[in-house]
Amino acid sequence: MVGRLLGVDHGDRRIGLALSDPIPMIASPLKTITVDDAQEAIDAIKEIVKEYDVILVIVGLPIGMKGQKTAQTKHVKKFANDLINNGIKVALQDERLTSVSAKRSIMEQQKKPNKNKGLVDQIAAAILLQQYIDKHYND
């Protein structure tokens, strides 16, 4: 399947987004959107899907370190189902440690993660999207 993929690191107020190249082989941070409610997030993602001709949205699924579901797991699954109900094709990707890796990346750039939360969200989205691409496209 050839076409762009969109990675989504879903948070309560901020959503980090990453986009793949059209092949897809490489994920890159795109932007962070700030939303007040789920419908606003869905509308924003629908626009991005249309603008970039995205064929699949990869939503990061928060799972506990021991593989257990968390309160956020249920919330993100509902969000993914809402996207599906709006005609968007969705896949879920385990996002364990993506935020930790993103913060480490920010610190390596001599930046402070606490002052660059939007960038952390984008990088986390890129990491989870790259993991999905590596697993499903780059065998």
Tell me what pLDDT residue 128 has.
93
Tell me what pLDDT residue 59 has.
96
Q: Which domain holds residue 20?
A: 4-136
Local confidence band at 100 (pLDDT 50, 70, 90 cut-offs): low
Count CB neighbours of 135 within 10 A: 11
Q: What is the pTM of this model?
A: 0.85
pLDDT over 90 (residue 107): no
**What is the domain-level CATH number for residue 126?**
3.30.420.140
pLDDT over 60 (residue 112): no
Give the pLDDT confidence of 4-34 residue by residue, as tens digits: 999 999 987 899 999 999 999 999 999 999 9
Tell me what pLDDT residue 106 has.
60
b/e map 48-87, b = 16+ CB within 10 Å: bbeebebbbbbbbbbbeeeeeeeebeeebeebbebbeeee
Report d(CA 57, CA 26) in Å as an integer. 15
Contact 8, 127 (CB under 8 A): no
Q: In total, how many domains does the chain have?
A: 1
pLDDT over 60 (residue 77): yes
